[in-house]
């Protein structure tokens, strides 16, 4: 890749981050956060995008960012206190900016009406003409680096007289960790001229909380020298980044201060003796020092260091670790089976190896884990757009954005979630008048929450709208021929009608939801992720869609079963229980169809061997183990297998990479003996061929 | 000399020759990834008869095609002496179960003759041409149609 393209790529990657920061900041401003740090962060984000865009001559982006920035600058300086409408404008502008960035990346920039409209609104907001007046400034704009911590005034003109620098120097822990020594720096400074040092010890803690490896001291230095700032700064070259450093040119030739002999060890000793009293004094002081106040803010701003890694590399690593796990299992099995003497040390080593492999696997999986935050942020944009289009007042409340899920799950969740959010705003929430009439606040709320629960991720989309209109749903289902006209359905059965293919039809098509994508597609994509979806709804109070998803698509807990010498894996999530297999509980329904009685409930009994074509359908099912399973739509069935071997975690291997999708098989895996085993797709196994069964339990399932 | 080797590159190709049933076949060496001994395969439910199943190739699930059965020859029960040729088909990999690998052939393009018209429709799907060599006939296999047709649909 040529270097410019690489830099360009980095710029757009950074843009993504800036846009996220921008939206984050704006949202918290909308929540009433008027902290100057937040406003600054928002401003910085737009400013950085503008600067980078200038370097790449992305003029449309620059000019839009500039107007945005100008408006934000007014907010920053306090000239403009944004009201709710202004905040909405800012958010819309952020969306538009994101679009422009995307368009610039793809090379197709068209400044269309929406952007111009937003620009107009900005001009109105900031009192017009603002942009025009500053036209020159951004026309000649060159690359502007992101603002750094050290704001340096321009170097002073050379003066023959002595310069006086005040230097505030606070070493950080890292400085000492890298074997640097303030004393050496001070000696170096002293060589430039006359140095006065004052040590600040007020941050010293009690001895009982004293961390000998931490840094608690800071110094105020006064340096009289003929040298220029550059020379002074050079002294700190090696510790840059490992200390807080401010170098100020106070004045040339101030009153000379008598040089003081400097002995750091003596100071330190003194400090250590005095520390408790000083600390006590500090605590006794009612008002916290400004420094102490500033500290937590700085800590908040500190970002954990990260690196960008090519996703391919991570996936390769994950694959390799998957192989390692299989090989380790194979090795263990072979050693334990073949060795004549059970060597305890070998066994112990094997166990240690197993523990290590598992730990490596978990750590590697964690690399792919991503917080759902970016996904949720995308949803807030969807909410804004749909709310605008339907003229509803909607607020999106998000919870648990830090919840981490596998990257693929996050990515594949975007479409179904978008659809559900659209539905919630478009169909779920009422218009403002209707809401007021129902005694609700005019502003509707859509809640998006994520949480970890027993090894799975639960994502809830709920609204405080009108709830599912059950009579209407039933009426439509009957009209579409999905259920017979005289059917009596329970509330939850009616709710589940929404998931039927063919339910979403032309009569509900609006330009927002109902773009030919129904809830059945949502359900299918969730199921493809190994997840489940359920609805609960209360009339007049709103609906909640609950998604339950696996944390990763790479491993799965399952039980290993045999059918006619062949080994299969059944996902544990589908299994309700294993049922004692007694011939008296099996009822024959003719045509190789059987039902199993489980505590007075009759469920279809499916012979896995016959269903998969492993063996011919048996006329009686007297041997084997029945496993009661529940499919994603909540119907229960029993699977008949010959034997249950084991319960274990298996690595999911795609069958489609080199072969194709097989009906009834979800994926493949590799077992401890190195052989491939098929993972059953319980839903498909129970579903299509057993409509009659399903109909017996849930009449409406007779969809196709 | 350089000229000559360049010339050779453009006109000559290497083929891996193997036996399946009583017949001899060959496949372009560029599509062969590796050759390995037979390991028992796991059957895939609802698969066509020529799919022997899948094996674990260093963590990758690899389908095995019984080439003889695929070409309409009677199937054989694979033994440890059988060989799997791991070949690349587009962006997928598949194993061909064959009786033995016999040779590596350097063949000039011109010596590959079009498949004679007598060949059955089935054979014509996989045989790109034939090579007459030392009184033997070797069919040049193309991998394109060896795997089930539905796979391409799934991939799209």
What CATH number is attached to the domain comprising A396? 3.30.565.10
For residue A629, give the CATH number of its domain. Answer: 2.30.30.40
Give CA separation, A319 vs A274, A284, A312, A325, A365, in Å.
Answer: 58, 59, 10, 10, 10
Interface with B, mutate which of A324, A357, A660, A662 (most B CBs under 10 A): A660
Q: What does DSSP assign to residue A583?
A: G
Tell me: do A399 and A520 sit in the same domain.
yes
Q: Among the three residues A521, A550, A579, which one is the final residue of a domain in this structure?
A: A550
d(CA A234, CA B17): 72
| A144: confidence class by pLDDT, cuts 50, 70, 90 | very low
- Inform me whether the pLDDT recorded for A412 exceeds 80: yes
d(CA A107, CA A100): 10
Cβ <8 Å between A654 and B150:
no
Q: Does A316 touch chain B (CB under 8 A)?
A: no
pLDDT of residue B92: 85
The nearest CA of chain B is from the CA of A660 a distance in Å of: 5
Rounded average pLDDT over A287-292: 43
- Inform me whether the pLDDT recorded for A411 exceeds 60: yes
- Inform me whether the pLDDT recorded for B115 exceeds 50: yes
Q: Supply the mean pLDDT for chain A.
A: 76
Tell me: do A67 and A193 sit in the same domain.
no
Evaluate whether A82 touches A142 at the Cβ level (below 8 Å).
no
A529 vs A296, more confident: A529
pLDDT of residue A620: 65
- Inform me whether the pLDDT recorded for A155 exceeds 60: no
pLDDT of residue A225: 80
d(CA A110, CA A59): 11
Rounded average pLDDT over A59-85: 81
| A255: confidence class by pLDDT, cuts 50, 70, 90 | very low
Tell me: do A330 and A460 sit in the same domain.
no
Q: Considering the domain boundaries, does residue A124 fall inside one?
A: yes
The nearest CA of chain A is from the CA of B69 a distance in Å of: 18
A-chain residues near B40 (CB < 8 A):
675
Closest-CA residue of chain A to B42: A676
d(CA A451, CA A458): 5
Tell me: do A333 and A283 sit in the same domain.
no
Q: Does B49 touch chain A (CB under 8 A)?
A: no
| A389: confidence class by pLDDT, cuts 50, 70, 90 | confident
- Inform me whether the pLDDT recorded for A257 exceeds 50: no
Cβ <8 Å between A658 and B47:
no
Q: What does DSSP assign to residue A372?
A: S
The helix (H) or strand (E) run that includes residue A139 is: helix A135-139
Tell me: do A467 and A603 sit in the same domain.
no
Q: Which domain holds residue A520?
A: 372-550
- Inform me whether the pLDDT recorded for A704 exceeds 60: no
Give CA separation, A545 vs A413, A462, A517, B53, in Å.
Answer: 14, 6, 17, 40
| A74: confidence class by pLDDT, cuts 50, 70, 90 | confident
The count of CB pairs under 8 A between chains A and B is 79
Rounded average pLDDT over A612-617: 79
Q: Considering the domain boundaries, does residue A497 fall inside one?
A: yes
pLDDT of residue A132: 41
Rounded average pLDDT over A392-414: 87
pLDDT of residue A338: 77
Strand order in the sheet with A394-399: A394-399, A444-453, A456-463, A542-550, A532-538
A-chain residues near B47 (CB < 8 A):
662
Interface with A, mutate which of B39, B47, B59, B65 (most A CBs under 10 A): B59
State the number of CA atoms in the 13 A half-sphere of A245 facing the CB.
21
Note the pLDDT tens digit of each residue in B45-93: 888 888 999 998 887 899 999 888 888 787 778 888 899 999 988 788 8
Phi-psi region of B67 (alpha: psi -120 to 50; beta: other; left: phi over 0): alpha
The helix (H) or strand (E) run that includes residue A412 is: helix A407-423
Tell me: do A609 and A670 sit in the same domain.
yes
d(CA A517, CA A504): 7
| Total residue count of chain A as it appears in this document | 704
For residue A102, give the CATH number of its domain. Answer: 1.20.120.160
pTM of the complete model? 0.53
Residue in the structure block whose two tokens are 């070409």: B71
Q: Among the three residues A515, A533, A550, which one is the final residue of a domain in this structure?
A: A550
A-chain residues near B42 (CB < 8 A):
566-567, 668, 675-678
Q: Considering the domain boundaries, does residue A298 fall inside one?
A: no
d(CA A132, CA A100): 21
Q: Does A323 touch chain B (CB under 8 A)?
A: yes
pLDDT of residue A129: 43
Phi-psi region of A564 (alpha: psi -120 to 50; beta: other; left: phi over 0): left
Note the pLDDT tens digit of each residue in B142-153: 887 777 765 443
Q: Is A544 helix (H, G, I), strand (E, B) or coil?
A: strand
Give CA separation, A211 vs A177, A214, A218, A481, A597, in Å.
Answer: 13, 5, 16, 74, 67
Cβ <8 Å between B54 and A654:
no
Q: Considering the domain boundaries, does residue A49 fall inside one?
A: yes
Q: Considering the domain boundaries, does residue A303 fall inside one?
A: no
Closest-CA residue of chain B to A665: B45
A130 vs A249, more confident: A249
- Inform me whether the pLDDT recorded for A50 exceeds 60: yes
Tell me: do A65 and A94 sit in the same domain.
yes
Name the A residues in 604-643 with CB < 8 Å from any B CB. 612-614
Q: Is A658 helix (H, G, I), strand (E, B) or coil?
A: coil
Paired tokens of A521: 């597609």
> Could you tell me what percent of chain A has a pLDDT over 90?
4
Rounded average pLDDT over A526-531: 78
Note the pLDDT tens digit of each residue in A208-233: 778 888 888 888 888 888 777 777 87
Report the relative pairing of strands B136-141 and B23-28 from DSSP bridges. parallel
Domains and CATH numbers, chain B: 14-147 (2.40.50.180)
Rounded average pLDDT over A445-465: 87
Tell me: do A461 and A538 sit in the same domain.
yes
Nearest to A675 among B42, B44, B147 (CB): B42
Nearest to A156 by CA among A225, A245, A252, A34: A252
A-chain residues near B56 (CB < 8 A):
326, 670, 674-676
A335 C-beta neighbours (distance < 10 Å), count: 15
pLDDT of residue A608: 87
Evaluate whether A640 touches A625 at the Cβ level (below 8 Å).
yes
d(CA A535, CA A514): 18
Rounded average pLDDT over A638-659: 85
- Inform me whether the pLDDT recorded for A545 exceeds 80: yes
Domain count, chain A: 5
Q: What does DSSP assign to residue A346?
A: H
Tell me: do A380 and A526 sit in the same domain.
yes
- Inform me whether the pLDDT recorded for A20 exceeds 50: yes
Tell me: do A519 and A567 sit in the same domain.
no
Q: Among the three residues A104, A139, A174, which one is the final residue of a domain in this structure?
A: A139
| A585: confidence class by pLDDT, cuts 50, 70, 90 | confident
Tell me: do A47 and A126 sit in the same domain.
yes
For residue A278, give the CATH number of its domain. Answer: 3.30.70.260
pLDDT of residue A483: 79
Rounded average pLDDT over B35-49: 89
Evaluate whether B10 touches B30 at the Cβ level (below 8 Å).
no
Give bridge partners of residue B26 from the DSSP assignment: B17, B140
Strand order in the sheet with A601-607: A575-579, A625-630, A636-641, A601-607, A594-598, A586-588
d(CA A225, CA A185): 15
B-chain residues near A663 (CB < 8 A):
46
d(CA A325, CA B59): 10
Note the pLDDT tens digit of each residue in A367-378: 888 888 888 988
Q: Considering the domain boundaries, does residue A304 fall inside one?
A: no
Maximum mean pLDDT: which of A76-80, A158-162, A252-256, A337-341: A76-80
Nearest to A405 by CA among A458, A460, A461, A462: A458
Residue in the structure block whose two tokens are 């297998």: A641
- What is this model's ipTM? 0.83
| A514: confidence class by pLDDT, cuts 50, 70, 90 | very low
Tell me: do A180 and A264 sit in the same domain.
yes
| A575: confidence class by pLDDT, cuts 50, 70, 90 | confident
Note the pLDDT tens digit of each residue in A499-512: 877 676 444 444 44
Q: Does B42 touch chain A (CB under 8 A)?
A: yes
pLDDT of residue A657: 81
Residue in the structure block whose two tokens are 């001070």: A186
Cβ <8 Å between B46 and A668:
no
Cβ <8 Å between A660 and B150:
yes
């Amino acid at each position: 890749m040529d270097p410019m393209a690489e830099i360009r790529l980095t710029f757009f990657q950074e843009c993504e981050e800036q846009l996220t920061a921008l939206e984050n900041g704006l949202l918290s401003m909308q929540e009433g956060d008027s902290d100057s740090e937040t406003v600054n962060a928002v401003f910085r984000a737009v400013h950085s995008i503008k600067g980078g865009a200038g370097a790449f001559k992305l003029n449309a982006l620059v000019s839009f960012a500039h107007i945005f920035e100008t408006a934000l600058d007014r907010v920053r300086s306090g000239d403009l206190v944004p009201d709710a409408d202004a905040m909405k404008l800012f958010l819309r502008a952020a969306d538009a900016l994101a679009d422009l960035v995307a368009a610039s990346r793809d090379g197709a920039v068209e400044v269309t009406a929406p952007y111009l409209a937003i620009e107009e609104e900005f001009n109105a907001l900031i009192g017009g003409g603002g942009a025009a007046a500053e036209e020159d400034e951004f026309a000649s704009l060159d690359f502007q680096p992101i603002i750094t911590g050290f704001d340096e005034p321009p170097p002073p003109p050379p003066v023959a007289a002595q310069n006086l620098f005040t230097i505030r120097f606070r070493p950080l822990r890292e400085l000492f960790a890298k074997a640097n020594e303030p004393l050496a720096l001070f000696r170096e400074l002293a060589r430039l001229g006359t140095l006065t040092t004052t040590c600040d010890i007020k941050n010293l803690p009690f001895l009982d909380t004293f961390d000998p490896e931490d840094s608690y001291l800071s110094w105020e230095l006064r340096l009289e020298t003929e040298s220029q700032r550059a020379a002074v700064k050079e002294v700190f070259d090696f510790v840059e980044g490992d200390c807080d450093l401010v170098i100020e040119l106070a004045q040339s030739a101030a009153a000379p201060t008598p040089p003081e002999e400097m002995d750091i060890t003596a100071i330190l000793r003194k400090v250590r003796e005095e520390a408790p009293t000083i600390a006590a004094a500090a605590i006794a002081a009612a008002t916290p020092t400004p420094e102490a106040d500033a500290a937590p803010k700085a800590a908040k701003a500190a970002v954990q260091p990260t690196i960008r890694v090519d996703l391919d590399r991570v996936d390769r690593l994950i694959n390799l670790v998957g192989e390692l796990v299989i090989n380790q299992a194979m090795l263990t099995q072979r050693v334990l089976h073949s060795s004549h003497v059970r060597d305890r040390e070998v066994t112990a080593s094997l166990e240690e190896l197993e523990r290590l492999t598992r730990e490596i696997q978990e750590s590697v999986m964690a690399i792919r884990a991503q917080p759902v935050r970016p996904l949720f942020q995308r949803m807030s944009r969807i909410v804004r757009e749909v709310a605008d289009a339907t003229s509803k007042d909607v607020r999106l409340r998000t919870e648990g954005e830090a919840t981490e899920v596998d990257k693929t799950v996050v990515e594949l969740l975007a479409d179904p979630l978008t659809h559900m959010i659209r539905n919630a705003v478009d169909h779920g929430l009422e218009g403002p008048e209707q809401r007021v009439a129902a005694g609700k606040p005019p502003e509707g709320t859509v809640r998006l929450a994520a949480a970890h629960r027993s090894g799975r991720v639960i994502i809830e989309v709920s609204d405080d709208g009108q709830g599912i209109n059950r009579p209407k749903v039933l009426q439509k289902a009957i009209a579409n021929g999905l259920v017979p006209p005289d059917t009596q359905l329970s509330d939850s059965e009616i709710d589940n009608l929404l998931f039927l293919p063919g339910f979403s039809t032309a009569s509900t098509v609006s330009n927002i939801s109902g773009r030919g994508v129904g809830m059945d597609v949502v359900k299918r994509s969730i199921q493809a992720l190994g997840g489940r979806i359920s609805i609960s709804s209360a009339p007049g109070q709103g609906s909640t869609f609950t998604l339950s998803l696996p944390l990763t698509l790479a491993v799965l807990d399952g039980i290993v079963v045999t059918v006619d010498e062949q080994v299969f894996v059944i996902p544990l999530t589908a299994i309700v229980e294993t049922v004692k297999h007694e011939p008296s509980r099996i009822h024959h329904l003719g045509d190789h169809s059987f039902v199993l009685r489980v505590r007075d409930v009759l469920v279809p009994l499916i012979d896995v061997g016959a269903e998969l074509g492993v063996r011919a359908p048996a006329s009686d099912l007297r041997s084997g183990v029945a496993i009661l399973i529940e499919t994603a739509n909540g119907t229960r069935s029993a699977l008949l297998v010959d034997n249950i071997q084991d319960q274990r975690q298996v690595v999911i291997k795609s069958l489609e990479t080199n072969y194709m999708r097989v009906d009834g098989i979800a994926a493949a895996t590799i077992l401890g003996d190195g052989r491939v085993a098929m993972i059953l797709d319980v839903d498909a196994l129970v579903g299509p061929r057993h409509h009659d069964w399903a109909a017996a339990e849930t009449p409406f399932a007779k969809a196709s | 000399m350089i000229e000559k080797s360049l010339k050779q590159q453009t006109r000559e190709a290497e083929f891996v020759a193997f036996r399946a049933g009583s017949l001899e076949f060959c496949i372009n060496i560029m599509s062969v990834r590796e050759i390995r001994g037979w390991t028992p395969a796991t059957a895939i439910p609802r698969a066509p008869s020529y799919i022997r199943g899948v094996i674990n190739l260093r963590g990758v699930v690899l389908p095995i095609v019984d080439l003889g059965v695929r070409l309409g020859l009677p199937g054989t029960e694979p033994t440890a002496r059988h060989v799997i040729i791991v070949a690349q088909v587009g962006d997928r990999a598949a194993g061909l179960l064959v009786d033995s690998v016999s040779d590596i052939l350097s063949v000039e393009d011109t010596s590959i003759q079009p498949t004679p018209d007598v060949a059955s429709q089935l054979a014509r799907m996989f045989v790109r041409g034939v090579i007459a060599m030392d009184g033997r006939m070797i069919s040049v296999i193309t991998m394109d149609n060896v795997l089930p047709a539905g796979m391409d649909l799934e991939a799209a």
